[in-house]
Amino acid sequence: MAALWSRTRQRTSDEVVVKALYEEHGRALLAYAQRLTGDRAAAEDVVQETLIRAWRHQDKLTNGKGSVRGWLLTVARNIVTDRCRARASRPTEVAENPSRVPVENDHAESVVDSMVVMEALDRLSPDHREVLVEIYFQGRTVNEAAEVLGIPAGTVKSRSHYALRQLRELYREKPGTARLVVLKEAVA
């Protein structure tokens, strides 16, 4: 119980020390760090790190050598210097091939779209599916699709009409399926 009491008392006194340091030197420390970094957020990080170091080395604050503010400003300057050196020691990142633009769009959208399209095509009969594949995915005309499939052009037209109609019905049944936009454009 005595150990718990002393830890609680120690924690409270540590909080008082850090709070007192911040209240007395916080503004000056923040202004100085902001001048060094040129960035408010980075300056706040430097102040926080400075106060942590002051908390860890309280003995240096009470040894009677020099001012507390001088010690804090020196620590802040050292932190900024260390961060600059760390940034400078890392090589700058460059694109693998400067002529190629980095990928901007995530290909996941197209993967999901193709999965939805494949699922919708799987719901069609094989005859309807092969007609749509020839016309929309292979880019063939009605006559070319008829020649490849070995059926009359009128049959290709009829099957594509009924296949698209069935896809429209499937699309209406699933109004939340936004991925069928690819099919919707083909169906419309």
Helix (H), strand (E) at residue 104: none
What is the value of pTM for the model shown? 0.43
Instruction: Choose the weakest-confidence range: 4-8, 67-71, 105-109.
Output: 4-8
CATH number at residue 20: 1.10.1740.10
Over residues 162-172, the pLDDT tens digits come to: 998 888 887 77
Q: Is residue 79 part of a domain?
A: yes
Q: Which domain holds residue 177?
A: 108-187
Residues contacting 21, CB < 8 A, separation 6+: 51, 54, 61, 68, 72
Q: Is residue 1 part of a domain?
A: no
Boundary of a domain, candidates 54, 88, 122: 88
Q: Which band of pLDDT confidence, cut at 50, 70 and 90, is reported for residue 2?
A: very low
Provide the CB-side half-sphere exposure for 169 (13 A, CA): 8
Over residues 49-99, the pLDDT tens digits come to: 998 888 888 877 776 667 888 889 999 999 999 988 888 887 776 666 666
CATH number at residue 112: 1.10.10.10
Please count the structural domains in the chain: 2
Beta strand residue intervals within 36-82, DSSP E: none
Whole-number Cα distances in Å, 93 to 42, 84, 140, 175: 22, 16, 46, 45
Is the Cα dihedral 151, 156, 159, 160 positive or negative?
A: positive
Verify that 80 and 14 share a domain, yes or no: yes
